[in-house]
Structure formats: C-alpha cells, structure tokens
C-alpha cells in the first residue's frame, strides 16, 4: 500500500481540526440576571415565566448557545427569521429540559424532531430603546415573521409584591420554574444586570466536582456525597438529590454540576443544596 505524503497528512489533520473548531463561533454578548431582592419596586417591572429550556442567541443568521456553539437547526426552523439579533430560549415545554438539551447537542437532527420546538424571544440586544419598547418590537417581529417557531414570551405588569408572589405560586403549581422580572426602562447591557431579576422558590447554580466521599449504611460502596467548589471558591458537600444509579456512577472530578439551594448561610455556604443535574459538555 502506497504511503501518503507527510504534507498531505498534515493538511487532512488541519482540515479536521478546522471542522471541529468551526462549530464554536464567537461567544454571544448577552445579559445575565441577578437574584430577586425584596426592596425593589415590582410595579416598575414586566414579569414573565422563567422557561426551563436552552438559552439561544440568534445573531441574524446562526443560532448560538450561551457558550458560542452553533446549533444545527434545519433550514425550515429559521425560515423567515429576521436578520437581527434575538436573545431567547429554545423550548419544548415545561419539564422537558433534558429533551431540548439533548436535541440542541446533536449535530444532525431530522426536521420533524424540531417541529414542536419554539424559539421564545425575551430580548432584542441591538435595539436601542428601553425594555418596554423592545417588548413591543418583539411582538411585532413575531407577527411579521408568521413562524410557528418564533414566538415572544408574554410579559405582564404586577400591581404589588403580593400579586407577584401569587403569580409565582400559580406558575410553580402549574409546573413552571419561576419568574423573570425586567425593569421597563432598562436598556440592554451585556453582562450581569441588576435590571433583570429571577425569582424562584429555589435558586440554582453551578459548581465543579473536586472529590467524592464514601457512602455509609445503604450507600456503602457507593458515592456518599460530591465535594464541589463554586466559582467564588466556596467548598461544600452535596449528598442529596442523587439517584442510586448516579451514586454508582457519579459525575467525575472536574465535571460541572448544577445544584439547587435555599439561600446562603452566614458563612456563605449554600443552604440545603441538592444535586440537580450534570452539565453536558459544551
């Protein structure tokens, strides 16, 4: 068998590497929410349901994940989408995060598997007006596009804090995650914003697994708890929320997990932390 020239092999390897890297485009410039504080005047905000989907950024021609990876959408999904930046959520419905997450990660997906997916708009990054104007502009975009896939998340005002928590209860009881509050007069600003607030009965956050502890009793020979470290450097254990299968084959050291918690202790440690899921590789 004839040997391939060394230079030809290098070209093939380079092309392969380029193909892999081309899946990751630039990281989208997006806003990030902060946690609800009781001293805000909720009447100055518009409130919407917090969807449990995958964050999507339509740059006018490509759909990107939060990490900048291009989503392999069928052309039929984005048919008629406007050539402007849209910040939103790829969503299949309540309690279907795992389904949409798996779909977004796939490189080739038949058109029919995207039929139920909606791209729910919640902001227009390049619009120069305050949020109240951006919301009206999104409603017009949804009407003009006439696509079953492009929709806008309903925003509504609330009359009081009591009304806000009544709405939260109704959303959570119906299977939703919580609420998002957008300050009506705020302009789009990249990064963490005090003018976008998330309100949930439980908060979630990410941490990196740095170790495992041995289980006791019925968990002898299995995982007892994950030792995790937050981006702020706080180290603590998470022992609840894990299934027997996950205890037998726990998230590896170095992997990133999402956990839920009910506020922080005086020492800054998450209170009642519970394992939620392992973040898929980006």
Is the pLDDT reported for residue 236 higher than 90? yes
CATH number, domain of 230, equals: 2.40.50.140
What number of CA atoms fall less than 13 Å from residue 257's CA on the CB side?
27
Under 8 Å between Cβ of 26 and 68:
yes
Task: Clarify whether residues 250 and 194 are in a common domain.
Answer: no
Dihedral sign of CA atoms 249, 250, 255, 257 in order: positive
pTM of the entire predicted model: 0.68
- Per-residue pLDDT of 22-75, as tens digits, reads 366 688 999 999 988 878 999 999 999 999 899 999 999 999 999 899 999 998
Catalytic residue among 3, 21, 35, 50: 50
CATH number, domain of 100, equals: 3.30.470.30
Q: What is the DSSP string of 62-74?
A: -EE-TTSBBP---
In this prediction, residue 24 carries a pLDDT of 63
In this prediction, residue 61 carries a pLDDT of 92
Under 8 Å between Cβ of 276 and 95:
no
Task: Clarify whether residues 192 and 240 are in a common domain.
Answer: no
Q: Is residue 154 part of a domain?
A: yes
Note down the domain range covering 271.
203-278
Using pLDDT thresholds of 50, 70 and 90, give the confidence band for residue 119.
very high
Strand spans (E) along 101-190? 118-123, 150-152, 156-157, 178-183
21 is catalytic: no
Can you read off the two tokens belonging to residue 183?
Answer: 């300050």
Point out the domain boundary residue: 165, 199, 233.
199
Task: Clarify whether residues 57 and 134 are in a common domain.
Answer: yes
What does the pLDDT average to over 5-34? 59
Q: Is residue 157 part of a domain?
A: yes
In this prediction, residue 13 carries a pLDDT of 42
Cα separations (Å) of 24 from 133, 155, 167, 269, 275? Answer: 32, 32, 38, 34, 29
Task: Clarify whether residues 156 and 251 are in a common domain.
Answer: no
Residue 124: closest CA among 81, 93, 69: 81
In this prediction, residue 8 carries a pLDDT of 45
- Per-residue pLDDT of 164-173, as tens digits, reads 988 998 998 8
């Amino acid at each position: 068998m004839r040997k391939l020239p060394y230079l030809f092999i290098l070209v093939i390897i380079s092309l392969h590497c380029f193909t892999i890297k081309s899946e990751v485009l630039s990281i989208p410039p997006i806003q990030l929410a902060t946690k609800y504080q009781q001293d805000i005047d909720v009447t100055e905000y518009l409130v919407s349901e917090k969807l449990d989907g995958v964050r999507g950024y339509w740059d006018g021609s490509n759909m990107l994940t939060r990490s900048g990876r291009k989503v392999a959408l069928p052309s039929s999904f984005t048919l008629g989408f406007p050539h402007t930046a849209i910040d939103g959520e790829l969503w299949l419905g309540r309690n279907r995060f795992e389904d949409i997450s798996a779909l977004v990660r796939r490189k080739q997906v038949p058109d029919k598997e995207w039929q139920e997916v909606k791209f729910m708009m919640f902001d227009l990054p390049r619009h120069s007006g305050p949020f109240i104007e951006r919301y009206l502009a999104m409603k017009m975009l949804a009407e003009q596009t006439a696509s079953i896939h492009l929709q806008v998340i309903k925003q509504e005002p609330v009359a009081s804090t009591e009304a806000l928590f009544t709405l939260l209860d109704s959303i959570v009881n119906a299977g939703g995650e919580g609420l998002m509050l957008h300050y009506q007069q705020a302009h789009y600003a990249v990064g963490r914003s005090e003018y976008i607030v998330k309100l949930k009965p439980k908060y979630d956050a990410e941490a990196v697994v740095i170790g495992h502890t041995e289980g006791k009793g019925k968990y002898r020979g299995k995982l007892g708890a994950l030792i995790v470290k937050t981006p702020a450097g706080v180290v603590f254990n998470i022992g609840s929320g894990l299934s027997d299968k996950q205890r037998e084959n726990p998230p590896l050291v170095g992997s990133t997990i999402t956990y839920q918690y009910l506020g922080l202790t005086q020492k800054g440690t998450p209170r009642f932390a519970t394992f939620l899921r392992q973040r898929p590789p980006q």
